[in-house]
């Protein structure tokens, strides 16, 4: 899931802009015939910042191995079921990750 998210340029750019409070983001969708949306962002929450940091580290690292310790800790705060290192489905991680970020808006 995280490898797929790291290869989503629009998400990476939005997170890059979202890390700075008070930023206005313009969202356009050429596929949909919608007017561009202007959204003013507040201070990002800890889960959003952890995801941004992790995706940045995945893109920029030369060492090969990246561990999502801080991101995992933030996910566990939002979804207690991930504590204890039991096996979870990847779609559950994606759902809790996106829901947690949306709750921080």
First to last CA, the chain: 22
**How many domains does the chain contain in total?**
1
Tell me how far apart the 2 most distant CA atoms of the chain are, in Å.
45
Where are the strands (E) in the chain, listed by range?
24-27, 37-40
Is the per-residue pLDDT at 61 higher than 70? Answer: no
Do residues 82 and 76 make contact, with C-beta atoms less than 8 angstroms apart? yes
The pLDDT assigned to 39 comes to 73
For 86-95, write each residue's pLDDT tens digit: 677 888 888 8
CA distance 85 to 62: 27
Residue 83 structural domain:
1-103
For 13-40, write each residue's pLDDT tens digit: 888 877 776 777 777 766 666 777 777 7
């Amino acid at each position: 899931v995280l490898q797929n998210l790291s290869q989503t340029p629009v998400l990476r750019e939005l997170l890059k802009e979202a890390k700075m409070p008070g930023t206005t983001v313009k969202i356009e969708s050429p596929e949909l015939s919608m007017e561009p949306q202007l959204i003013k962002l507040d201070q990002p929450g800890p889960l959003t910042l952890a995801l941004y940091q992790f995706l940045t580290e995945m893109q920029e690292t030369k060492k090969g191995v990246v561990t999502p310790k801080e991101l995992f800790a933030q996910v566990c705060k939002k979804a207690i079921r991930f504590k204890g290192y039991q096996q979870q489905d990847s779609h559950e991680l994606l759902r809790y990750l996106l829901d947690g970020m949306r709750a921080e808006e």
